[in-house]
Amino acid sequence: MSLAEVLEVFAAGTELPLRFCAYDGSSTGPVNAPLSLELRTPRGASYLLTAPGDLGLARAYVAGDLDVTGVHPGDPYELLRTLATELDLKRPPARVLLDVLRSVGIERLRPVAPPPQEMLPRWRRLAEGLRHSRRRDAEVIHHHYDVSNRFYELVLGESMTYTCACYPETGADLQTAQDNKHRLVFEKLRLAPGDRLLDVGCGWGAMVRYAARRGVRAVGVTLSREQAAWAQRAIAAEGLGELAAVRFGDYRGVAESGFDAVSSIGLTEHIGVHNYPGYFGFLASRLRPGGLLLNHCITRPDNTGPADAGGFIDRYVFPDGELTGSGRIITEVQDAGLEVLHEENLRHHYALTLRDWGANLVANWDAAVTEVGLATAKVWGLYMAGSRLGFASNVVQLHQVLAVRLDDVGGDCGLPLRPWWTP
């Protein structure tokens, strides 16, 4: 069988939604299809056969062994949507599968080295350091966030905020939506001039600076040295040094307590589900009685599935990342002694955020490639498009959970009876 015929076997006779061409000269699918894939090398076939699913596809694509036409590498969303919704591959019977293996060659089943952008497999990382120890957390944060501050500027735009925005309407621009997200967090936390805010996993300090501009004394902490340096420069440039500070370090190193509010925006995904009790317990211990916690994180749509991320995400994007359902988040917040006041799902907003990040990457593609290299830029285009598809199709969600630390007799220190913020 040719490679095109092999694909037709897995497609089980259904019409392909795109054109496929291979290095052996074979092809299949509509000749004038708007999307096409070209498998250019035997190494690409080895990637696909030895790691079926998203990891093998990612390896072949990032390494340049699988070419795509019809979409921009900075935003291959339409390709991923087509593959997910219109291409239904099935495992053939054992006899047919044996014929397939004979056709492609047994040598294609020998694993080959992945692209250098790929992290070690989870079991190898475990052998080299305790998962979610301070050292290992610092290493994986460095892998993801210290790519290049300039690269993040090109993708994230003016706000330098790498978390879900909140769109006041679907046509709002990204900067407006990110500013609106910070306003929402600020209002939910009932912050006022003179209050003290701790922002854990603060990124480039956008929430810290937003709060400081409004008279709040804000401290942020990040495990990314590059983020901390960028944030410190931005604080100085705005003249916010008397109110704002961003530290390079682990959130567990924050010694102060008695904060009026704690925000955790996009950090919980890195903590590890089994570490939630200690995590939320620590955040609760930083609050004064009546102080508020806002936890903003990606979740699964249920509480029963595995926590581990998929192969591509774990090896290329968020090593050691784990997700669970909003029900588990709420349970752990409550078990840490906090009273949950409100929660909401912003998953559609994250799909819009990723759409706009993808558009930024497309618009700044040449500069991004110059900054980090073609392979890394392709990883990011693939990751953001895949994540956008996940939020749009309810594979993942984004929940904000608001909670209060009660006093010794169960009082909330005079919170209003109903929500006090503008949605």
Binned at pLDDT 50, 70 and 90, residue 120 comes out as confident
Domain-embedded: residue 180 = yes
Whether the per-residue pLDDT at 108 is higher than 80: the answer is yes
What is the reported pTM? Answer: 0.93
Q: Among 98-112, 138-152, 262-276, which range has the highest average pLDDT?
A: 262-276
* Amino acid 377: pLDDT: 96
Domain-embedded: residue 217 = yes
* Amino acid 294: pLDDT: 99
Domain-embedded: residue 68 = yes
Whether the per-residue pLDDT at 139 is higher than 70: the answer is no
* Amino acid 18: pLDDT: 97
* Amino acid 318: pLDDT: 84
Binned at pLDDT 50, 70 and 90, residue 217 comes out as very high
* Amino acid 138: pLDDT: 53
Instruction: Give yes or no: residues 166 and 258 share one domain.
Output: yes
Domain-embedded: residue 224 = yes
Domain-embedded: residue 55 = yes
Distance (Å, whole) CA 364 – CA 368: 6
Q: Are strands 244-248 and 338-345 parallel, antiparallel or unpaired?
A: unpaired
Distance (Å, whole) CA 202 – CA 228: 9
Section 45-65 average pLDDT: 94
Domain-embedded: residue 417 = no
Domain-embedded: residue 275 = yes
Nearest to 120 by CA among 107, 131, 109, 110: 131
Binned at pLDDT 50, 70 and 90, residue 340 comes out as very high
Express each pLDDT in 291-320 by its tens digit: 999 999 999 999 998 898 888 998 898 888
Instruction: Give yes or no: residues 72 and 155 share one domain.
Output: no
Instruction: Give yes or no: residues 41 and 155 share one domain.
Output: no
Q: State the SS3 of the chain.
A: CCHHHHHHHHCCCCCCCCEEEECCCCEECCCCCCCEEEECCHHHHHHHHHCCCHHHHHHHHHCCCEEEECCECCECHHHHHHHHHHCCCCCCCHHHHHHHHHHHCHHHHCCCCCCCCCCCCHHHHHHCCCCCCHHHHHHHHHHHHCCCHHHHHHHHCCCCCCCCCCCCCCCCCHHHHHHHHHHHHHHHCCCCCCCEEEEECCCCCHHHHHHHHCCCEEEEEECCHHHHHHHHHHHHHCCCCCCEEEEECCHHHCCCCCEEEEEEECCHHHCCHHHHHHHHHHHHHHEEEEEEEEEEEEEECCCCCCCECCHHHHHHHCCCCECCEHHHHHHHHHHCCEEEEEEEECHHHHHHHHHHHHHHHHHCHHHHHHHHCHHHHHHHHHHHHHHHHHHHCCCCEEEEEEEEECCCCCCCCCCCCCCCCCC
Instruction: Give yes or no: residues 158 and 271 share one domain.
Output: yes
* Amino acid 208: pLDDT: 98
Which domain range does residue 329 map to?
135-405
Binned at pLDDT 50, 70 and 90, residue 53 comes out as confident
Whether the per-residue pLDDT at 231 is higher than 60: the answer is yes
Whether the per-residue pLDDT at 126 is higher than 60: the answer is no
Whether the per-residue pLDDT at 130 is higher than 70: the answer is no
Section 1-5 average pLDDT: 94
* Cα-Cα-Cα-Cα dihedral sign, residues 281, 282, 287, 289: positive
Instruction: Give yes or no: residues 95 and 152 share one domain.
Output: no
Whether the per-residue pLDDT at 328 is higher than 60: the answer is yes
Section 174-190 average pLDDT: 98
Range from 49-58, 266-275, 355-364, 394-403 carrying the lowest mean pLDDT = 49-58
Whether the per-residue pLDDT at 122 is higher than 70: the answer is no
* Amino acid 309: pLDDT: 80
Instruction: Give yes or no: residues 337 and 377 share one domain.
Output: yes
Q: Are strands 196-200 and 217-222 parallel, antiparallel or unpaired?
A: parallel
Summary mean pLDDT of the chain: 93
Domain-embedded: residue 166 = yes
Express each pLDDT in 242-296 by its tens digit: 999 999 999 999 999 999 999 999 999 999 999 999 999 999 999 999 999 999 9
Whether the per-residue pLDDT at 144 is higher than 60: the answer is no
